[in-house]
Amino acid sequence: MHNFTSYLIFSLLPCYLLQATITTGSHTVASDGEITRIGAILDQTLRAGKEAKVSIEMAVQDLNIEINYYKVFSLENNPVHAAINAAKELIDEHKVKAILGGHTWDEASAIAEVISEADHDNDTPVFLSLASITPLQAANQWPFFVQAVLTQSTQMNAVAAILQSWGIHQVTLIFETSHLAHSSAPIISHISRAFRKTGSVLTHILPLMCSVDEELELLKRQQRQVFVIYTSLELGARLFQTAKKKEMTGDGYLWIASNQITDLLHSVNATMTSSLEGLVGVKSYFPRGTPDFQDFRKRFRHKFRSDYPEEHQDEPGIFAVQAYNVGRLLENLGHQIPPRESSTVEIVNVIGNGYHSVYWTQGLGFSKTIMGDNLTDEELGKALWPVQPWYAHRRGSNLVERSENRMRVGVPDKSLFKQIVRVDFDHKTNKSVFSGFSVSVFKEMMKEVKLPYEFIPFNGYSDKLVKEIGSKEHIFDAVVGEIFFVSNATSSFSEAVVS
């Protein structure tokens, strides 16, 4: 059960007593030299929330900000409901000037709505969002909204680059649909935008909650071999392990994990990591070899072990680094808050109980080290799979060949209106001939998306053909016919009318 959400309230003593403002887009928040109260809303049941809490407190301490209020409260509702209640209390009772938090877009947007609707006596609080999945219009919708961490755009561009390097164009997206997951619309938007740049296409989108075995059986029957998975680490691990049992991994298959999974590899044990062997993923990059990070790492591990003794892995990950950087932004109250941008992504391949890495940088491509020489496609393969033979041409060819399966499009051979759809049989060629308005429109559409397909005649009318889409046999991927949605679209269809 998702029970615990916490928030912190800090008092910030400005280093100077002059009039100052925070500027975020077109929005300004005045600061008159009095104590400024800062709130943080964090989910304490998840690793991201735990790392963020520790790091924000470290940042506050480094800035000599005195913590004068701290509270953890328990709610039996979902984290969005908890975030709403916390935001209302921070604004109405504690009059905070800034709020940090919201690792998922559902949480972040809920907090932003509370800020937007609140009755502010003087100033609107600034919201420093920790959500990496954010619609492009968020800053326009809420002028007080600051995207304080990197978005998924660069991550998804890296995924598109991996697919392009292997000549793969057709991809299945699997994403989680539980209350713990991100909203699907921004995810699909980021991925689709990245794929358009390289010619890849999402040919299938699978929302996944818990029926992993059944869904994989369906994907196997559909002969889908290239997958991008955007789920929690727990569900992603179960999905990949089940795929292994069904012989849906290895040669001829490609599984690419988003950073929702890979950014938590540092927090799991060797058994969990080894169960993901063969998984490729994009991972948030941050420099680990600098003296500043080593000092941060030492202090973080000590405090994390003290605050969360039940956690066996105490290494800081991207959530810790991001939260510390956002906490340091409090120092800029009264100044322009700069955008935080990065164009480098770590590409990992899980091997044994660890992983091997290369890097991808926007505009530069793949390299073995940061700012190193670019890798060719073959060198990229050897770098990602260094401990086993890399059959680049064979594996690449298999992936391309098997990802180019034709879409099976059902066409009814019985119709009330032959002008809409018609199926005839040509005895000379021994083939079916498909014609009509719906068929012509479908052909033109497929020219635009450049996907291979084949028409398959169906013995019956459109209403029965539509039901075949959800059948266990799954003969068809799409249908063309005299079909359109009516108001009760989930339960009925209506014949088209021609005048």
pLDDT digits (tens, 9 = 90+) for 191-234: 888 998 888 888 888 888 767 888 898 888 888 889 999 999 99
What CA–CA distance (Å, rounded) separates 44 from 51?
9
Assign 494 a pLDDT band (cuts: 50, 70, 90).
Answer: very low
- 153-257+264-285+343-401 and 407-494 in the same fold: no
Q: What is the mean pLDDT of residues 64-78?
A: 48
Q: Say yes or no to pLDDT of 2 above 70.
A: no
**What ranges do the domains of the chain cover?**
4-151+317-332, 153-257+264-285+343-401, 407-494
Report yes or no: 96 and 40 within 8 Å, Cβ to Cβ: no
What is the pLDDT at residue 497?
Answer: 41
Residue predicted with more confidence, 407 or 337: 407
pLDDT digits (tens, 9 = 90+) for 338-387: 555 568 999 999 988 888 889 999 888 898 888 777 887 777 776 666 54
Query: How many residues would you count in the chain?
Result: 499
HSE-up of residue 179 (Cα within 13 Å, Cβ side): 9
* C-alpha to C-alpha distances, 62 to 49, 58, 114, 299, 329, nearest whole angstrom: 20, 6, 30, 11, 12
Pairing of strands 453-458, 407-412: parallel
Name the phi and psi angles at 404, rounded to 5. Answer: -95, 30
What is the pLDDT at residue 360?
Answer: 92
CATH class of 153-257+264-285+343-401: alpha beta
Q: Say yes or no to pLDDT of 251 above 60.
A: yes
What CA–CA distance (Å, rounded) separates 422 from 498?
15
What CA–CA distance (Å, rounded) separates 115 from 127?
8
Where do runs of H (alpha helix) occur along 329-450?
Answer: 377-384, 392-403, 437-449
DSSP string for 25-94 = TTEEEEE-SSPEEEEEEEETTSHHHHHHHHHHHHHHHHTTPEEEEEEEEE-SS-HHHHHHHHHHHHHHTT
Report yes or no: 266 and 321 within 8 Å, Cβ to Cβ: no
What CA–CA distance (Å, rounded) separates 378 from 392?
6
Q: Say yes or no to pLDDT of 425 above 80.
A: yes
Q: Say yes or no to pLDDT of 83 above 90.
A: no
Q: Say yes or no to pLDDT of 389 above 50.
A: no
What CA–CA distance (Å, rounded) separates 56 from 329?
10
CATH of 4-151+317-332, one of 1.25.40, 3.30.2320, 3.40.50, 3.40.190: 3.40.50
What is the pLDDT at residue 66?
Answer: 53
User: For residue 101, what are the β-bridge partners?
Assistant: 41, 129
Second-level CATH architecture of 407-494: 3-Layer(aba) Sandwich (3.40)
What is the pLDDT at residue 276?
Answer: 92
What is the pLDDT at residue 324?
Answer: 92
DSSP string for 99-116 = EEE-SSHHHHHHHHHHHH
Percentage of residues of the chain with pLDDT beyond 90:
23
**Per-position b or e across 22-45, b if 16+ CB within 10 A of its CB:** bebeebebebeeeebbbbbbbbbb
Sorted by sequence, the CB contacts under 8 Å of residue 10 that are 6+ apart come out as 37, 38, 39, 40, 60, 65, 66, 67, 68, 69, 330
When the pLDDT of each residue in the chain is averaged and rounded to a whole number, the result is: 77
Q: What is the mean pLDDT of residues 420-442?
A: 85
